[in-house]
Structure 1
Amino acid sequence: MNDKLFTSEQFLILKRQLRWTVIIIPIAIVIGSMVALFLWLLSLAIHFRFKNTWLLYLLPLAGILIHFIYKLAGGSSEKGNNLIIDEIHKPGGGVPKRMAPIVLATTIITHLFGGSAGREGTAVQIGGSIAQMFGKWFRLNEADTRIVLIAGIAAGFGAVFGTPLTGAIFAMEVLTMGRIQYNALLPCLIASIVGDVTVAAWGIHHTAYHIDVFAVAPHWFSGYFSFDVLLLVKIIVASIAFGLASYLFASLVHGIKTFFIKRIPIAWLIPVIGGLIIIGLTAILGKPDYLSLGIDAEHAGAVTIPSAFHAGGSDTWSWLWKTIYTTVTLATGFKGGEVTPLFYIGATLGNTLSVLMDAPVGLFAALGFIAVFAGATNTPLACTFMGIELFGGQYAIFFAVACFTAYFFSGHSGIYGSQRIGISKLDDSQSADSYTLADAAKRRQTYLRQKIEKYKLGKK
C-alpha cells in the first residue's frame, strides 16, 4: 500500500512542486527586494528632477555616461530583455550577474536627467540576472535553469507593477507568440506573488487607477445582450487604433536605432544627439509632460497616466508626443523599459478616442492602457488579466476584446526582437522557434526595398 502511495503520479507531482517552491521563494524574495530598492530610488530621482529642472540640460552627458558604463562593464548585458529571452530559448553564455546593478543604475540616470523611459525592462533584467545567479548556486540543469529564468521574469514584472497574476502569465506568454510555456506555471505564479508581496513588505506602493462609473445608452437591441453592443463596436474600432499605435511604437524604436547606427560612426555621439532632441522638443512644446515615466505630475495640469482617465486630462496628440519622446530616448541608448510609456500612450490615445467617439473616458483610457501594451508585447492574455487586476473584473469582456484586437492589428512586430513566432497572426501555420520578430522585420524591409526598386524601374 505504501509503495503504491509513494510511486503514484500525484505524489511525484507534489514532490516536484514542493521542490520548485523551495527553489523559487528565496529567488523571488531577493528579486522583490531589488525591485523595491529600484522603485524607491526611481521615485527619488524623478522628484529630485522635478525640483531641479536644469538637470534636463545634462541629459546628453548622462547618455555618454550610460554608453561608457555598458562599453566598459556591460558586456552582453547591453542586449537587455532580448538576452534573457534568447537564453531561455537557446542557452549560451548565460545572463551575467552584473546586468542587475548596471541596468538599475543606468535606468536611474536616465530618469534623473529626464529621459522618457519605463521601468519594466529594468525589473525583468533584474529578475533574469538574479534568477541565473541562483540557478548556478543551486547547480540546476539546463531545463531547470530555463524555468528559473522564466520565473525571474515573472517575479520582476509582478513586483514592479503590483500585478502578480499578470506577471506570471506575461512571463509564460512573452517568449513565443501564440504559445504559452505551461511547464513554468507554478514557479511563475509563486515567483510573481512572492515578488509582489516582498515589494509591499518594503513599504512600496503602486499607483491606483479607477474607471468612473458610466451610464449605458439604451438601444432597441439592448434587451438581447448583457452589454452595450454599440459600445462594443466603438471599442473594436478604438482597439484597431491601439494595435496600430503599438506597431508604430515598435517600428520607430527599431527604425530610429538602425538609422543612427548606420549614419553616426562615433557611438557615444548617438545618445548625445538623442538627449539634444529631447531637450529641443521640450523647449518647443514648452512643457515637460512627456519626460520620464509620466505617472506623477511635475506641475498642476500636467498630462499624466492618471489624468488621462478623466475628461480634459489629455491633449489630442499627447499619445504621439510620448511615442516620439520614448522611441528617441530608448533608440539612442538610454535605459529603462517600454511598458510604462506604452501605458501612457494607450491611456492618452484612449482619452482622445473617447472624445471623438462619444465614449466613456475612463473606460477607453483603461482599454488603451492595456491594449497598446498587448500589441507591442504580443501578450493579449496577460494584458487582459492586467485590466482585471488594475481596474476590476466587471469590464473583463471589453478588456479581452481590446487586447486581442490590438494584438492582431499590431502585426508581426513588437518591442522584443528576440521574441519567437510560434503561430502566425495571418494563418494557423506554425513556424520554428528560431524565427523571431527581428527576422520578420528584416523580411518586411527586404520586401519594401524590392517594391521601391520595382517602382523606380517602372517609372524609368
Structure 2
Amino acid sequence: MTLLNRFLRRLRRQFLESSALFLNIIRWTLLATIVGAIVGGSTALFIHALHGSIHLLHKLPYYFFLLPVGLWLSTYMIKLLAPQAAGHGTEKVIDAVHRREGRMYPGDAPVKLTATVITIATGGSAGKEGPAAQIGATLASLFADIFRLNKQDRKKLVICGISAGFAAIFSTPVAGALFGVEVLFLGQILYEILLPSFVAGVTAYQVSSWLGANYFWDPLQIPDVINEALFVQVIFSGVIFGLVAILFIEALKWGHRFFQTFKDRPHFRPLFGGILLVGFGLLGASEGLGLGVDSLERVLSGESCPWWLWIFKSVATGITLGAGGSGGVVTPIFVVGASAGSIWGRIIGADPALFAALGMVAVLSGCANTPIAASVMGLELFGPSFGPYGAVVCVVSFLMTGYRGVYSSQILARQKSEILTAPLNQPIPSEGKVSLEFDTRKKFVRIQHFFEDFRNWIRGVKFWRH
C-alpha cells in the first residue's frame, strides 16, 4: 500500500507539472502569435511607406539636396513629440528591457516611423530594422498594458517585439527570433523567451509576407563538400571583417562625438550634417547614401562595387545618426560588410559573391555581438552549404571586436576570451577599452600569460622531441 501511494503521489506530481508546462506553452504561444501578427502588420506598413517615399523622391536627379531639410525635420519631430525615441531604435528597446521592465512609450511608434521615412527617403544613411524593432516593442508593451500583464510578462513580450520586427524586416524568422534573445546580453541567451520569440518571429514573417513585404535574398551556389583551403581563407577573413566591424563602430562613435560640439546651437547640427552628406553626393559618392539595398543586391550577385563604398557607408551612417537622423544600423552594416567582403574576395582571388555574403553576416556578428543569430541568418539566406563557413567567420569576427558594439546598453554577461576581460554584469565599455593592469588581485587581462602559455605549449608538443 505504501509503494502504491508513493507511485500515485509521484504520478500526480508529474501530471500537475506537465499540465502546468503545457498550459504555459499554450498561453505564450497565443500571446506571441498576437504580438507577432501586430508587429508583422505594422512592419509591412512601415516598409511600404518607406519604399513608396524612396521611389517617389529618388525620381529627382539630385534628391539628396533635401537632406538638410529631411534631417532637420526628423530631428525636431522626435525632439518635440517623442524625445525618448531618439537614436537607432534597437538600442532604446534594450535599455527599456534592462531599466524599465520593458515599458515603452505609445507615442514612439508613429513618430519613429515618420521620422525614419523622412531620414532615409531624403538620402540619410540608416537602416530600417531599428525602427521596426522599436515600433514592434512599443506595440507589444502597449498590448501588455491593455491586458494588464505583469512586469515580467511585459518584458518578455517586448523582447518578442524585437524578434518579430527583425524577422519581418529581413524575412529571416529564425535568425530574428535568436537576435531578440541574444542581443540583450553579451554572452548569454534568455532560454525562457525562446519559444515566444520563435512564435512571434515566424508569425510576423508570415504576416508581413502576406502583405507584400519581402527581401531579395537568393541562395548561393556552394559545394556541399567542405573545401579545406577555403575554410582556412574564411578563418583569416574573419579577422579582416572584425577590423571592418571595429571601423563601423568607431565611425558611429565619431559621429556622435563630433556633433556633440553643436550642443550650444543644436538647430545647426542636422543642417550641417545634411550639408556634409550633400557634399559627398556631389563628389560622386551618392551610392553610399540612403538604404543602400541596390548596392547590397549587386555585390551579393557577384558584381563589383567602388573600393571606397564600405568606408564611406560607415562615415555616412555616423554623420546621419550623429546629426540627429532616425534609423537603424543593421542595413548599413550589411552594405559595409558585403562591399568589404566583395573587395576582399577579389584581392585573394576567391568568389566575390561568397565573400560578400560572409562579410555581411560577419560584420553583423562583430558589430552587434550576436554570432549565433548572424550564423543562422547565413543559413536562412544563403542555403545550408553556407553554414560551416558562415559560422566560423561570424565567431572570429565576434572575437576580434573585443568589448565593443553598436548597442552600448548590452550587458556583459560572459567574457569573450580568457586573455581579455572586462567587468561583468555591466554595460559593455563604451569605448571598447579594458584595463591592462598586471595586478593578479584584479580581474583584468594579463597579456604575458598568453605568451607564457603559448611558449609552454610549443615546448610540450611531442614532435619537437624527435
TM-score, normalised to structure 2, is: 0.87
SS at match of 2:418: coil
Q: CA 1:93–1:200 in structure 2 vs 1: closer, same or farther (change >3 Å)? A: closer
Q: What residue number does 1:413 align with?
A: 404
Compute the displacement of 1:280 (Å): 0.4
Matched ranges for 1:61-460 at <5 A: 61-79=69-87, 80-91=89-100, 94-213=103-222, 227-284=226-283, 286-296=284-294, 304-427=295-418, 431-433=423-425, 435-437=426-428, 439-441=429-431
Amino acid at match of 1:239: G
For each residue in 1:264-302, what CA deviation from the matched residue of structure 2 results, as whole angstroms up to 9, or x when unmatched? 521121111111111001111x25211111113xxxxxx
Compute the displacement of 1:244 (Å): 1.1
Q: CA 1:173–1:92 in structure 2 vs 1: closer, same or farther (change >3 Å)? A: closer
Greater Cα offset, 140-149 or 386-395: 140-149
Query: Aligned to 1:19, which of 24, 27, 30?
Result: 27
**Cα distance in 2 between the residues matched to 1:430 and 1:182:** 24
Contact 2:57 2:63 in 1 (8 A): yes
Contact 1:209 1:391 in 2 (8 A): yes
**Cα distance in 2 between the residues matched to 1:275 and 1:441:** 26
Compute the displacement of 1:211 (Å): 2.2
**Cα distance in 1 between the residues matched to 2:435 and 2:325:** 25
Q: CA 1:287–1:82 in structure 2 vs 1: closer, same or farther (change >3 Å)? A: closer
Compute the displacement of 1:310 (Å): 4.2
SS at match of 1:96: coil
Q: What residue number does 2:460 align with?
A: none
Compute the displacement of 1:365 (Å): 0.8
Contact 1:210 1:362 in 2 (8 A): no
Q: CA 1:93–1:406 in structure 2 vs 1: closer, same or farther (change >3 Å)? A: closer
**Cα distance in 2 between the residues matched to 1:67 and 1:421:** 31
Contact 2:128 2:328 in 1 (8 A): yes
Contact 2:32 2:200 in 1 (8 A): yes
Compute the displacement of 1:430 (Å): 8.2
Amino acid at match of 2:65: Y
Q: What residue number does 1:28 align with?
A: 36
Q: CA 1:288–1:331 in structure 2 vs 1: closer, same or farther (change >3 Å)? A: same
Compute the displacement of 1:5 (Å): 7.7
Q: CA 1:204–1:443 in structure 2 vs 1: closer, same or farther (change >3 Å)? A: closer
Compute the displacement of 1:422 (Å): 1.0
Q: What residue number does 1:223 align with?
A: none
**Cα distance in 2 between the residues matched to 1:254 and 1:113:** 23
**Cα distance in 1 between the residues matched to 2:126 and 2:92:** 19
Amino acid at match of 2:34: P
Compute the displacement of 1:259 (Å): 2.2
Compute the displacement of 1:316 (Å): 1.9
Compute the displacement of 1:13 (Å): 0.8
Amino acid at match of 1:162: S
Compute the displacement of 1:212 (Å): 4.0
**Of the two, which has the highest radius of gyration?**
2
Sequence identity (%)? 32
**Cα distance in 2 between the residues matched to 1:413 and 1:101:** 31
**Cα distance in 1 between the residues matched to 2:247 and 2:352:** 23
Q: CA 1:427–1:444 in structure 2 vs 1: closer, same or farther (change >3 Å)? A: closer
SS at match of 1:179: coil
Compute the displacement of 1:402 (Å): 0.7
Amino acid at match of 2:131: T
Contact 1:422 1:431 in 2 (8 A): no
For each residue in 1:116-158, what CA deviation from the matched residue of structure 2 results, as whole angstroms up to 9, or x when unmatched? 1111101110111011101111211111111111111011110
Q: CA 1:348–1:445 in structure 2 vs 1: closer, same or farther (change >3 Å)? A: farther
**Cα distance in 1 between the residues matched to 2:436 and 2:281:** 35
Q: What residue number does 2:458 align with?
A: none
Structure 1 unpaired stretches of 5+? 217-225, 297-303, 448-460
Contact 1:423 1:431 in 2 (8 A): no
Q: CA 1:44–1:319 in structure 2 vs 1: closer, same or farther (change >3 Å)? A: same
Contact 1:422 1:430 in 2 (8 A): no
Greater Cα offset, 228-237 or 185-194: 228-237
TM-score, normalised to structure 1, is: 0.88
Contact 2:75 2:326 in 1 (8 A): no
Q: CA 1:202–1:311 in structure 2 vs 1: closer, same or farther (change >3 Å)? A: closer
Structure 2 unpaired stretches of 5+? 1-7, 438-466
SS at match of 1:51: coil
Contact 1:32 1:196 in 2 (8 A): yes
Contact 1:158 1:193 in 2 (8 A): yes
- Aligned pairs, number: 427
Contact 1:60 1:275 in 2 (8 A): yes
Greater Cα offset, 12-21 or 307-316: 307-316
Compute the displacement of 1:312 (Å): 4.2
Contact 1:5 1:11 in 2 (8 A): no
**Cα distance in 1 between the residues matched to 2:433 and 2:187:** 20
Q: Are positions 1:53 and 2:61 aligned together?
A: yes
Compute the displacement of 1:322 (Å): 1.3
Q: CA 1:342–1:71 in structure 2 vs 1: closer, same or farther (change >3 Å)? A: same
Contact 1:251 1:413 in 2 (8 A): no
Amino acid at match of 2:396: T
For each residue in 1:183-216, what CA deviation from the matched residue of structure 2 results, as whole angstroms up to 9, or x when unmatched? 10111001000000010111222212342457x9
